[in-house]
Amino acid sequence: MAELSNQLLPVAVLAYLAAMVGYLMEYSFGGRGAVARTAVRPPRERELVGTAAGRVAPPTAPTSPAPTSPAPTATIPSKPAGRAVVFGRIAVGLTVVAALAHAGVLVTRGLAAGRVPWGNMYEFVVALSLVAAVAWLVLLIGRPTLRLLGLFVTLALVLVLGFAGMVLYTEAAPLVPALNSYWLKIHVSAAATASGLLLIAFVPAALFLIRTGYDAGKRRFPYPIGAKLPAAESLERLTFRLHAFAFPIWTFAVICGAIWAEAAWGRYWGWDPKEIWSFISWVAYAAYLHARATPSVKRTTATWFAVAAWGTMLINLYVINFVAVGLHSYAGVE
Amino acid sequence: MRTARAFWRSLTSMRTALILLLLLAIAAVPGSVLPQRSVNPESVNAYLAANPGSGRWLDRLWFFDVYSSPWFSAIYLLLFASLLGCLVPRLRQHFTNLVSAPPDAPSRLDRLPHSATDLTGAGDPPATAAKLKAGLKGQRWRAVVRDQTDGTVTVSAEKGYVKETGNLVFHFALLALLVGVALGSWYGWHGNRLVVAGEEFCNTLIQYDEYGLGARTTASDLPPFCVRLNAFRAEYLDNGQPVQFTADISYVEDPAAAPKAWRLEVNDPLRLDGGNVYLLGHGYAPVLRYTDRYGAAQTTVAPFLPDDGMLTSSGVAKFPDANVDPDGTKPRDTSAQVAFAGVYLPTLPADPSVGKSAFPAERDPALMIVAYQGNLGLGSGIPQSVYELSHRQIASGELKQVGERMLRPGETWTLPDGSRVEFVGTRQWITVSVRHDPGEKIVLFGAGALLVGLMVSLSGRRRRVWARIAPAGDGRSLISLGGLARSQQPSFADEFARVVALAGPPHETERPLAVAEKGH
């Protein structure tokens, strides 16, 4: 089983890589493709109960209807766009295959070790990236227009999972006594879920900043990427909704960690390096949500908070586990 | 007065709160980079010894006590002051909103982001309004009916005040958290110590190797109980990874009662009234029996501290009272004191020169010791570690090395002066932490309320709908509806459609119904 788990990991990484190529093809050949066109559609100008003769109330509202964006239809070469969509659909199919292999890695690992498969850093990273992959696919079900973001999501997944396989890998083994508690199931799964969701949330946040930069006329790298991205407003709204969903889960994970810490070490909070950086991330995401809720704070400023907060998550995951000596030394790396 | 008010206003602004949040995050960073006294005082001392210049300045600026430092405290206290200044008016406002009726309908409903006109009500305006109000209440809207002077009737309804409730609960829960933490630091205490198997300790400060008392706690506040370690067992995988630690202990809370047995494990503390006992660490204590040149024998159980995961352990056994002439007439000669410093390997590796244990359990135990004779320096007044010899005494030549040897359990080594040391065997030891924190329950409650408040505040959405009902002339009435959502909510369109369906069917076919939704 452990062997199978190890063999499935490269399968998952390669499938994500192939999906990434597919998204890239769609991205490159699609022009402002069907994906982008639907994404920049002025939001909600539809009739609900109206009949053919329906009388739409005159648009007298002081708030202007849609963010001004160039009329997309004029610039689309129709044929390549059609082909690009095929690439995009293949890419989604490949992402599903990759996610299944990815889930296989985790399940077989759990069977091999005879416990929940998130008992060391390698397994934690595999679990959190699986959450990210599944969250991405679920997101796609509701909004196929987001497919273009797949390029960046799969890029992140390939990096995270590839690093896990090459650097973090540890043999499947039973738990050390410190981790042998039912809180492992609750605290670590919540932390992995929140981290995976926040990883997905980081993608539209970063792309929103690129897109607004592009809209403001910036053309140096990475701003040209913004040319084909969905409208800034929809990216921003997605960013907020993902963070608003993930933040309570992260809060829950930290609280569970504190309860477990009380049972294991006698204190619910002891400023262990891992605890410090969880606190920093929590404060940073709280700052993002507050900034987002404040009308006087620009949306780009608020989104920078979210990007910085993801930076603190990365530090907590990669730097603290390797560098800092603390009680959370589950990394299995010396 | 004006400056005070201006200060207060700027303190309670969101901009200030955001800056304080950022500062709080940044101020927490040094605590993960530099060693902290609250976590590990030994590594702070080691850092100070290694960096005397910068270390002194960092220490002066509280960088080794970040989380109790004046600057860290200043940030979070200002943040909480800002929070309170923001919350109290909001609480008052929220309360007013909850008890007052939803505001009256604006004059032009069709200007709202969501609107529908020309719906038909079956009865006259008051009856239609009453029916609509009942329907809205069924969908859990807060609704009120108002008769207008022009003969029309308006219905105002609102929903989603739970969002603000959640918001307030979240922020007040943070205050509860702070209160709980403060109570813990005032009335909590802890003590840590090492217990060798067979030993007993009681819950008094002098029996702890290290302790901390809350600001409003005294030594007499510690509840009297005693704990004895009977045995300790550890299980390992073949690669040396531990899987299970179990300490069999017995404890007495009431001196009159018989001791009770308990299996102390990691993650499973012994919870007593007024204090909990936690298992933190474990190791080996070699037992050495020294027979001095006068034939007097003494036995020492010397806990050695683990250096690695395979429990290569180092420590020292000191015999300060060795080689005292039993005659008693001569002055006491401290220069004949004896100590054995060394490394204990629970499993000797295939190549003993490696000097590191091959496995954490005692498969092939060996003790590698160096014998020292001379003045241990215990009377010098300088505090000494029980795990190390005084480097000062060795450097000054007052304590001299007299030989080294590897001993197996049961083996005896005769020193050049004819005295003998026997490695009797080992005993296991554990480190325990005994702790009490009366603020814990408040913190837990605060954390729960915080989470609930957070979820409600992030998922709740405020929205309002209004209806204006005019007589249609034929005993029926004409309804126009408008809806407004506080924040952008895709789902509000569907909800508004349900309200439209509730109000009634379109009026006549020649005046078709229109429902409009505008972008915002």
pLDDT digits over A201-251, tens only?
999 999 999 999 999 999 888 898 888 888 999 999 999 999 999 999 999
Q: Are B485 and B466 spatial neighbours (Cβ–Cβ below 8 Å)?
A: no
Residue among A53, A248, A324 minimizing CB distance to B455: A248
Does A152 map to a domain?
yes
pLDDT of residue B377: 84
Surface of A (233-272) touching B: CB under 8 A: 237, 244-245, 247-248, 251-252, 255, 258-260, 262-272
Query: Does the structure show a pLDDT above 90 at A127?
Result: yes
DSSP string over A223-241: GGGGGGSPPHHHHHHHHHH
Look at A71-75, A173-177, A267-271, B154-158 and tell me which has the smallest mean pLDDT. A71-75
Residue among B113, B451, B514 minimizing CB distance to A248: B451
- For residues A96 and A241, membership in a common domain is answered with no
CA-nearest of A121, A123, A184 to A322 is A121
pLDDT digits over B474-519, tens only?
788 888 899 988 776 777 888 888 888 888 777 654 444 555 655 4
Out of A120, A141, A174, a domain closes at A174
Measure CA A17 to chain center. 17
Distance CA A70, CA A63 (A): 19
| Number of structural domains in chain A | 2
Task: Answer whether A217 touches B (CB < 8 Å).
Answer: no
Quick one: tokens of B282? 């474990």
Q: Residue B276: phi, psi to the nearest 5?
A: -115, 145
Partners of residue A290 in chain B, C-beta under 8 Å? 14, 17-18, 21
What percent of chain B is predicted at pLDDT more than 70? 96
Out of A136, A155, A174, a domain closes at A174
Computed on alpha carbons and rounded to an integer, the radius of gyration of chain B in Å comes to 38
Query: Does the structure show a pLDDT above 60 at A257?
Result: yes
**Surface-to-core class of residue B265, CB atoms within 10 Å of its CB (0-12 exposed, 13-18 middle, 19+ buried):** middle
CA-nearest of B327, B268, B320, B293 to B421 is B293
Q: Where are the beta strands (DSSP E) in B323-398?
A: 337-345, 366-374
Does A97 map to a domain?
yes
- CA distances for B311 relative to A151, B285, B345, B346, B362, angstroms: 49, 11, 7, 7, 10
Q: What is the mean pLDDT of residues A100-122?
A: 92
Query: Does the structure show a pLDDT above 90 at A310?
Result: yes
- CA distances for B475 relative to B86, B117, B123, B127, B507, angstroms: 52, 18, 6, 11, 13
Surface of B (262-301) touching A: CB under 8 A: 265-269, 276, 278, 280
pLDDT tier for residue B331 given thresholds of 50, 70 and 90: low
CA dihedral B495, B498, B499, B501 (to 10 degrees): 160
pLDDT of residue A329: 64
Partners of residue B36 in chain A, C-beta under 8 Å? 271
Does A141 map to a domain?
yes
pLDDT of residue B430: 95
Partners of residue B112 in chain A, C-beta under 8 Å? 61
> Residue A63, by phi and psi: left (phi above 0), alpha (psi -120 to 50) or beta?
beta
pLDDT tier for residue A54 given thresholds of 50, 70 and 90: very low
Cross-chain residue pair B278–A53, CB shorter than 8 Å: no
Partners of residue A297 in chain B, C-beta under 8 Å? 14-15, 18
CA-nearest of A202, A81, A217 to A149 is A202
| Angle separating helix axes B70-99 and B14-28, nearest 10 degrees | 140
Query: Does the structure show a pLDDT above 90 at B180?
Result: yes
Q: What is the mean pLDDT of residues B295-320?
A: 93
What percent of chain A is predicted at pLDDT more than 90? 57
Query: Does the structure show a pLDDT above 70 at B48?
Result: yes
Query: Does the structure show a pLDDT above 50 at A61?
Result: no
Q: Count of A–B CB contacts within 8 Å?
A: 184
Q: Which amino acid is at A262?
A: E
CA distance B471 to chain A (A): 22
- For residues A143 and A224, membership in a common domain is answered with no
Q: What is the mean pLDDT of residues B453-466?
A: 90
pLDDT tier for residue A123 given thresholds of 50, 70 and 90: very high
Q: Are A151 and A103 spatial neighbours (Cβ–Cβ below 8 Å)?
A: no
Out of A141, A156, A174, a domain closes at A174
- For residues A94 and A216, membership in a common domain is answered with no
Q: What is the mean pLDDT of residues B317-338?
A: 80
Distance CA A213, CA B350 (A): 64
Q: What is the mean pLDDT of residues B146-163?
A: 89
Cross-chain residue pair A50–B113, CB shorter than 8 Å: no
- CA distances for B211 relative to A97, B229, B413, B433, angstroms: 56, 20, 39, 9
Q: What is the mean pLDDT of residues B259-275?
A: 93
pLDDT of residue B508: 55
Cross-chain residue pair A50–B433, CB shorter than 8 Å: no
Does A317 map to a domain?
yes
- For residues A32 and A157, membership in a common domain is answered with yes
Residue B158's DSSP bridge partners are B142, B464
CA-nearest of B467, B466, B492, B520 to A59 is B520
- For residues A30 and A163, membership in a common domain is answered with yes
Q: Count of CB atoms within 10 A of residue A17's CB?
A: 19
Task: Answer whether B73 touches A (CB < 8 Å).
Answer: no
Domain annotation for chain B: domains and CATH numbers = 2-97 (no CATH), 103-160+462-517 (3.30.310), 184-282+434-452 (no CATH), 283-428 (no CATH)
pLDDT of residue B208: 93
Distance CA A321, CA B113 (A): 51
Task: Answer whether B190 touches A (CB < 8 Å).
Answer: yes
Does A63 map to a domain?
no
- For all residues of chain A together, what is the average pLDDT? 83
pLDDT tier for residue B277 given thresholds of 50, 70 and 90: very high
Cross-chain residue pair B513–A50, CB shorter than 8 Å: yes
The owner of tokens 């990210």 is: A132
Query: Does the structure show a pLDDT above 80 at B25?
Result: yes
**Surface-to-core class of residue B98, CB atoms within 10 Å of its CB (0-12 exposed, 13-18 middle, 19+ buried):** exposed
In degrees, rounded to 5, the angle at the alpha carbon of residue A249 between the alpha carbons of residues A243 and A252 is 140
Q: What is the mean pLDDT of residues B285-304?
A: 93
CA-nearest of B342, B340, B412, B404 to B373 is B340
Domain that holds residue A115: 1-51+79-174
pLDDT of residue B514: 55
pLDDT of residue B473: 77
B18, B181, B491: best to mutate for the A interface, most A CBs within 10 A: B18
pLDDT digits over B336-371, tens only?
889 999 999 999 999 888 889 999 999 999 999 999
The owner of tokens 């009159």 is: B256
Partners of residue B483 in chain A, C-beta under 8 Å? none
ipTM value greater than 0.90: no
- For residues A8 and A119, membership in a common domain is answered with yes
Three-state DSSP class for residue B355: coil
Q: What is the mean pLDDT of residues B3-30?
A: 89
Distance CA A49, CA A218 (A): 43
pLDDT of residue A29: 81
Q: Ranked by mean pLDDT, which of A34-38, B297-301, B457-461 comes out on top?
A: B297-301
- For residues A153 and A102, membership in a common domain is answered with yes
- For residues A224 and A132, membership in a common domain is answered with no
- For residues A7 and A155, membership in a common domain is answered with yes
pLDDT digits over B219-236, tens only?
999 999 999 999 999 999
Of all residues in chain A, the one with the smallest CA distance to B170 is A248
Partners of residue B115 in chain A, C-beta under 8 Å? 57
- For residues A125 and A205, membership in a common domain is answered with no
Q: What is the mean pLDDT of residues B378-402?
A: 85
- For residues A34 and A180, membership in a common domain is answered with no
Q: Are A246 and A301 spatial neighbours (Cβ–Cβ below 8 Å)?
A: no
- Whole-model pTM over 0.80: yes
Does A61 map to a domain?
no
Partners of residue B490 in chain A, C-beta under 8 Å? 44
- For residues A231 and A250, membership in a common domain is answered with yes
Q: What is the mean pLDDT of residues B169-175?
A: 95
Surface of A (195-214) touching B: CB under 8 A: none
- For all residues of chain B together, what is the average pLDDT? 89
Q: Which amino acid is at A299?
A: R
